[in-house]
């Protein structure tokens, strides 16, 4: 069996009366892209904060790269890189100064830092802005700089907290490409996202988190299969969506679904079939009573 | 991606991390032009204000400048170090602190960096106060030893105030809150022997003025520079500063750890 990059058992965390994590069990194999998908306030950032040693859990265990996040903090820190939700860069410094500062803090000598900084800025297409203060950077540039800084030295596990929130489509796709390339380098990427498409496109394994619990885990295909093979969409004449129903896609199943729905809908409603999207998965998993067992 | 692989070396030592953070804070100080300008202008304005506007009323003989220089040095140092609270608080509410904390380094160095930059800024302001003071008639009778001793006391005082402001920055919820809480400390110099002798104050206020840290610091600097009696004020001054520094550093350490992941 491959070594697990991240493993948690029964992680719990509350802030005051609010329960943020309510018993989270995860196991993330090395070398994959793992997406934690959930709405705002589901506990994604808290989980990353615990895994990256920023916050202590109230109960439960967590190991990253084989080390306990509470008892072996320094070893965990030697194994991870974190790109937080808010770009972790210094606004008053230039891009170049930011990267060089982290090079020095990572233990590179001044001359090594200089070379490595130049290389990172070039790879992330930031050379032309290298001498400008980060304050003047666009959202996409900040994110690229943030990632560049996270890759100063090789760390086996990279945490990305909502890496593309607030980015335009092009910046988002650029980042996706970079993230996929990180996996080729053998880095385990643990990312959180609110975007279903992002998890679908990038992740080898997705866990859906809602209300501080993991409600489902699987590959994108497995999760989609969970809501059925085909989704019936019913729309009125103005193309407004009336209803969606998951089915197995067989004649018998579709016929039965339609005959049950027919009396409830106008007779001129239109029917179409499509493959389930991650949205369907998400709605099915987070609005229904919790499904706790994992399907992977 | 063609990024070359770079295996992680042993991470930065305590000294390197602190040096990097100090460099960062000094760079940030130099770029915060408004604050830097204020730090340079304030000593000049205060020096002129106290000498030419209040000075005549407080001491018609015209010697007030000799009395007031230590007070203005401390007033400026207090003001100059107060921006540390805002700087620290800004760092703590910004994402960059999470990066530092998740690196295998001594991340408290962020705060140490701001303290060192504050010391540098305030020594500059002190030099300006003394320079302007000479221009408006300050005539100290101190020798080299006295000057060095006075400088030592000033450094201790700046460090004490700066570490206190750093702690305030760590516990404040936001930079503007940090600036608000810090304001209280800036009044201490007025309730001391900085500008008038404490004997001229009402009895209850004398109690406060004579037993707060600023008065012995002022009396010590004044004694060293202009030859007024120091007595045991020197020990009190050093003791107060050392105590404040110790308490503030401990307070910083505790609150820095407590702030973990809470933004």
Q: What per-residue confidence (pLDDT) applies to B229?
A: 87
Q: What per-residue confidence (pLDDT) applies to B9?
A: 78
Task: Using an 8 Å CB-CB cutoff, list chain B residues near A54.
Answer: 98, 101-102, 260-261
Q: What is the ipTM of this complex?
A: 0.85
Q: How far apart are CA B71 and CA A111, in angstroms?
A: 46
Across the interface, which of A81, A91, A178 has its CB nearest the CB of B1?
A: A178
Q: Best mutation site among B2, B3, B27, B117 for testing chain A: the one with the most A CBs within 10 Å?
A: B3
Tell me the three state secondary structure of residue A211. coil
Across the interface, which of A85, A107, A178 has its CB nearest the CB of B9?
A: A107
Listed as ranges, residues in chain A with pLDDT below 70 are 1-2, 278, 287-296
Instruction: Count Cβ atoms below 10 Å from residue B249 Cβ, excluding itself.
Output: 19
How far is the alpha carbon of B125 from chain A, nearest alpha carbon, in Å?
23
**Minimal-distance CA residue of chain B relative to A53:** B102
B5–chain A Cβ distance below 8 A for any pair: yes
Taking only the tens place, the pLDDT of each residue in A154-194 is: 899 999 998 888 788 888 888 898 899 889 888 999 999 88
Q: Is B103 left (phi over 0), alpha (psi -120 to 50) or beta?
A: beta
Q: Best mutation site among A81, A104, A139 for testing chain B: the one with the most B CBs within 10 Å?
A: A104
Q: What per-residue confidence (pLDDT) applies to A152?
A: 92
Distances (CA, A) of A222 to A226, A229, A269, A287: 6, 11, 31, 19
Q: What per-residue confidence (pLDDT) applies to B184?
A: 79
Q: How far apart are CA B84 and CA B208, in angstroms?
A: 26
Listed as ranges, residues in chain B with pLDDT below 50 are 261, 263
Task: Using an 8 Å CB-CB cutoff, list chain A residues near B262.
Answer: 55
Q: What per-residue confidence (pLDDT) applies to B163?
A: 96
Instruction: Count Cβ atoms below 10 Å from residue A185 Cβ, excluding itself.
Output: 14
Q: How far apart are CA B118 and CA B84, in angstroms?
A: 7
Pull the structure tokens for residue B222.
């004044």
Task: Using an 8 Å CB-CB cutoff, list chain A residues near B261.
Answer: 49-50, 54-55
B60 φ/ψ angles, rounded to the nearest 5 degrees? -60, -20
Q: Best mutation site among B7, B14, B96, B117 for testing chain A: the one with the most A CBs within 10 Å?
A: B96
Among B150, B162, B163, B179, residue whose Cα is nearest residue B70: B150
Q: What per-residue confidence (pLDDT) applies to B1?
A: 56
Q: What per-residue confidence (pLDDT) applies to B260?
A: 56
What percent helix, strand, coil does chain A show, rounded to 5?
Answer: 40, 30, 35
């Amino acid at each position: 069996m491959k070594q697990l990059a991240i493993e948690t058992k029964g992680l719990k965390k509350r802030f005051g009366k609010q329960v943020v994590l309510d018993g989270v069990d995860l196991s993330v194999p090395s070398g994959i892209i793992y997406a934690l998908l959930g709405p705002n306030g589901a506990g994604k950032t808290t989980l990353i904060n615990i895994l990256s040693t920023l916050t202590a859990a109230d109960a439960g265990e967590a190991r990253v790269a084989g080390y306990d996040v509470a008892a072996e903090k320094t070893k965990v820190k030697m194994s991870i890189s974190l790109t937080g939700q808010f770009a972790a860069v210094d606004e008053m410094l230039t891009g170049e100064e930011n990267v060089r500062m982290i090079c020095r803090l990572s233990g590179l000598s001044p001359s090594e830092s200089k070379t490595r900084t130049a290389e990172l800025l070039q790879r992330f297409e930031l050379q032309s802005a290298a001498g400008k203060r980060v304050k003047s950077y666009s959202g996409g540039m900040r994110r690229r700089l943030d990632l560049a800084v996270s890759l100063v030295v090789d760390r086996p596990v990279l945490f990305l907290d909502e890496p593309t929130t607030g980015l335009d489509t092009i910046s988002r796709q650029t980042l996706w490409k970079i993230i996929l390339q990180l996996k080729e380098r053998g880095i385990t990427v643990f990312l959180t996202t609110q975007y279903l498409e992002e998890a679908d496109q990038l992740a080898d394994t997705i866990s859906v988190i809602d209300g501080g619990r993991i409600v489902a885990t699987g590959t994108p295909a497995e999760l989609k299969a969970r809501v059925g093979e085909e989704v019936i969409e019913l729309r009125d004449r103005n193309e407004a969506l009336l209803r969606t129903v998951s089915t197995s896609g067989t004649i018998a199943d579709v016929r039965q679904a339609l005959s049950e729905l027919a009396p409830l809908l106008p007779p001129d409603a239109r029917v179409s079939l499509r493959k389930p999207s991650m949205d369907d998965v998400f709605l099915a998993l987070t609005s229904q009573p919790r499904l706790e067992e994992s399907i992977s | 991606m063609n990024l070359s692989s770079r295996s992680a070396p042993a991470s930065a030592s305590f000294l390197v991390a602190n040096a990097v953070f100090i460099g960062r804070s000094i760079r940030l100080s130099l770029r915060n032009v408004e604050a830097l300008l204020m730090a340079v202008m304030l000593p000049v304005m205060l020096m002129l204000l106290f000498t030419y506007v209040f000075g005549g009323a407080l001491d018609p003989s015209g010697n007030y400048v000799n009395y007031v220089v230590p007070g203005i040095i401390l007033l400026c140092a207090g003001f100059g170090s107060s921006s540390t609270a805002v700087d620290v608080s800004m760092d703590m509410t910004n994402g960059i602190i999470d990066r530092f904390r998740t690196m295998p380094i001594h991340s408290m160095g962020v705060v140490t960096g701001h303290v060192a930059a504050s010391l540098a800024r305030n020594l500059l302001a002190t030099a300006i106060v003394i320079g302007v003071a000479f221009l408006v008639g300050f005539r100290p009778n101190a020798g080299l030893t006295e000057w060095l001793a006075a400088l030592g006391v000033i450094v201790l005082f700046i460090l004490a105030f700066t570490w206190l402001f750093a702690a305030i920055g760590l516990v404040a919820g936001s930079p503007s809150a940090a600036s608000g809480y810090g304001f209280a400390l800036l009044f201490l110099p007025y309730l001391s022997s900085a500008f008038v002798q404490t004997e001229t104050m009402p009895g209850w206020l004398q109690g406060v003025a004579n037993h707060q840290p600023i008065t012995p610091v002022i009396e010590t600097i004044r004694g060293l520079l202009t030859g007024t009696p120091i007595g045991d004020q020197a020990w009190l001054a050093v003791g107060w500063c050392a105590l404040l520094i110790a308490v503030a550093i401990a307070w910083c350490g505790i609150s820095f750890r407590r702030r973990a992941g809470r933004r």
